[in-house]
């Protein structure tokens, strides 16, 4: 098999030839059709997340076909198209797992971080954490749903039922969740990097009621705001934008330090919460909603060997939508 491998933090990935892995008990081997590139992958490569497995194959927005079944697997079939997300395994017995919060498991594994992921021609995954996908769908279009869509969905649920939703950082997750909001008859207020006219036009094209730089105030107070950009300085900006009793959701796995801000921004029962990982139920809920909402992902495809180029485009903000690697 071919794989783009991270051997040392803060260095480019390198193409390697590896033996084809065999699935163990409860696992499946998948031929990768497409794997989207997530900002979390950047955080792994750049050393922002602690203790990654090294060497590791990044990638956790995987679409592919089941090629081999490990012993005991009965819920997937050979040739079936599946999606493989960030959450790779949980213990099943800690207090979080048994209370429906497996996203906070004490002994988890994560695809492309603590187990090999999908920047490769093949990947082995825990069958219980894979999800059936439409057989006739475009794998490139489906791939961003496996994290940008899932974490975006969990963030939107955490934001509550408000009508006016602010979104800070208009990347892959934002462009998917904007479409969900419009389908739910909510209004989206998109905040981009100051001066990023292309991103603002993109947001409006998806139905956003307003789009502007994060240095601007929205024309109305927001019921809730979701921060996808990994920029701590946006927290007080978002708190300032929401109404009394409003909620600000931090949807990223990593964020720069939040600066000191006056208590009055949090007062009047505003709430600041974070979202961590995802649960399998999140995936089941969102993947059922996605076709009903008519979600259309905007993607830019790269060959597998161009993973470092995709990272550069993501870092620089040149992408609108999601980068997707195609082996």
- Give the per-residue pLDDT at 319: 86
- What percentage of the chain reaches a pLDDT higher than 90? 98
- Give the per-residue pLDDT at 320: 86
pLDDT tops 90 at residue 266: yes
- Residue-range domains of the chain with CATH: 2-146+278-326 (3.90.180.10), 149-274 (3.40.50.720)
Give mean pLDDT, residues 9-14: 97
Over residues 203-249, the pLDDT tens digits come to 999 999 999 999 999 999 999 999 999 999 999 999 999 999 999 99
pLDDT tops 90 at residue 165: yes
pLDDT tops 90 at residue 164: yes
Over residues 290-304, the pLDDT tens digits come to 999 999 999 999 999
**3-state SS, one letter per residue, for the chain:** CEEEEECCCCCCCEEEECCCCCCCCCEEEEEEEEEEECHHHHHHHCCCCCCCCCCECCCCEEEEEEEEECCCCCCCCCCCEEEECCEEECCCCCHHHHCCCHHHCCCCEEECCCECCCCECEEEEEHHHCEECCCCCCHHHHHHHHCHHHHHHHHHHHHCCCCEEEEECCCHHHHHHHHHHHHCCCEEEEEECCCCHHHHHHHHHCCCCEEEECCCCCCCCEEEEEECCCCCCHHHHHHHHEEEEEEEEECCCCCCCCCCCCHHHCCCCCEEEECCCCCHHHHHHHHHHHHHHCCCCCEEEEEHHHHHHHHHHHHHCCCCCEEEEEC
- Give the per-residue pLDDT at 15: 98
pLDDT tops 90 at residue 317: no
As a whole number, the mean pLDDT across the chain is: 97
Over residues 109-149, the pLDDT tens digits come to 999 999 999 999 999 999 999 999 999 999 999 999 999 99
Over residues 70-119, the pLDDT tens digits come to 999 999 999 999 999 999 999 999 999 999 999 999 999 999 999 999 99
- Give the per-residue pLDDT at 8: 97
């Amino acid at each position: 098999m071919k794989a783009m491998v991270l051997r040392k933090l803060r260095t480019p990935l390198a193409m390697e030839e590896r033996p084809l892995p065999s699935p163990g008990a409860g696992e499946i081997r998948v031929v990768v059709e497409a794997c989207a590139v997530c900002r979390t992958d950047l955080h792994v490569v750049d050393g922002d997340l602690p203790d990654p497995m090294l060497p590791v194959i990044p990638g956790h927005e995987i679409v592919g076909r089941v090629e081999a079944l490990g012993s005991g697997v009965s819920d997937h079939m050979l040739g079936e198209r599946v999606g493989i997300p960030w959450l790779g395994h949980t213990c099943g017995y800690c207090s979080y797992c048994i209370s429906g919060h497996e996203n906070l498991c004490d002994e988890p594994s994560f695809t492309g971080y603590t187990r090999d992921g999908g920047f490769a021609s093949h990947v082995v995954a825990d069958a219980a954490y894979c999800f059936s996908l439409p057989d006739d769908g475009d794998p490139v279009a489906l791939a961003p749903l496996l994290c940008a869509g899932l974490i975006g969905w969990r963030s939107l649920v955490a934001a509550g039922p408000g009508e006016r939703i602010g979104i800070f950082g208009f990347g892959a997750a934002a462009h998917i969740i904007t479409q969900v909001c419009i389908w739910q008859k909510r209004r989206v207020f998109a905040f981009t990097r100051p001066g990023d006219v292309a991103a603002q036009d993109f947001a409006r094209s998806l139905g956003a009621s307003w789009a502007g730089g994060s240095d601007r105030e929205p024309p109305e107070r927001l019921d809730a705001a979701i921060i996808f950009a990994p920029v701590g300085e946006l927290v007080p900006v978002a708190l300032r934008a929401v109404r009394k009793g409003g909620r600000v959701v931090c949807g990223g796995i990593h964020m720069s330090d939040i600066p000191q801000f006056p208590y009055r921004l949090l007062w009047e029962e505003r709430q600041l919460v974070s979202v961590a990982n995802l649960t399998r139920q999140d995936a089941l809920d969102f993947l059922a909603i996605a076709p009903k909402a008519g979600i259309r992902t905007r993607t830019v495809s790269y060959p597998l060997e161009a993973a470092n180029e995709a990272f550069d485009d993501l870092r620089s903000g040149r992408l609108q939508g999601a980068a997707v690697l195609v082996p």
